[in-house]
Structure 1
């Protein structure tokens, strides 16, 4: 059997704001932006070359609104792998991305933690080359 993750839903408060952040700040690609109804769009973004996508899902009710930025209860939620940690760290820092943990060399690679525009925590990781 072969399986893989295709996409993850990420709660956002505004589609256009989230699209701008992921495409302009993190350099993700906008894969799809399809209007489904007056209040719902199907918006997918992805890091260049990734087979796993983020579905930007606008919170539809108060319970969902309360979870924006807190989908993992304050833990690191998403892991962004890169082929050049320092290039991306410097680029993101220059674009105002808030890193909440200093870069560190770990057994698995170079890593730092940043917050996205909603407060979700991400690891930026350059894995050790095998």
Structure 2
């Protein structure tokens, strides 16, 4: 799973959305581990020009992007 140095939290302003990103070193492995642990995924993984991404909710209902940049 990702370590704390790979987690990004972006806060633009007090009245705007917060974005959470987790960079995965092993996207498929991390996604499978999260599913096995009961993570709630909001969509199927997408494989785009910039890499792979899937959106999930944490136990507090915060939405995160699990991403692996294309190498």
Superposition TM-score, scaled by structure 2 size: 0.77
Map 1:109-124 to 2 at 5 A.
109-124=51-66
Aligned residues: 65
Q: 1:86 aligns with which of 5, 13, 28?
A: 28
Gaps of 5+ in 2: 10-15
1:109–1:97: structure 2 CA closer, same or farther, 3 Å change rule? Answer: same
Superposition TM-score, scaled by structure 1 size: 0.44
Any idea what SS the aligned residue of 2:34 has? Answer: helix
- Structure scoring higher RCO (CA < 8 A, sep ≥ 6) equals 2
Any idea what SS the aligned residue of 2:46 has? Answer: strand
Q: CA RMSD in A?
A: 2.4
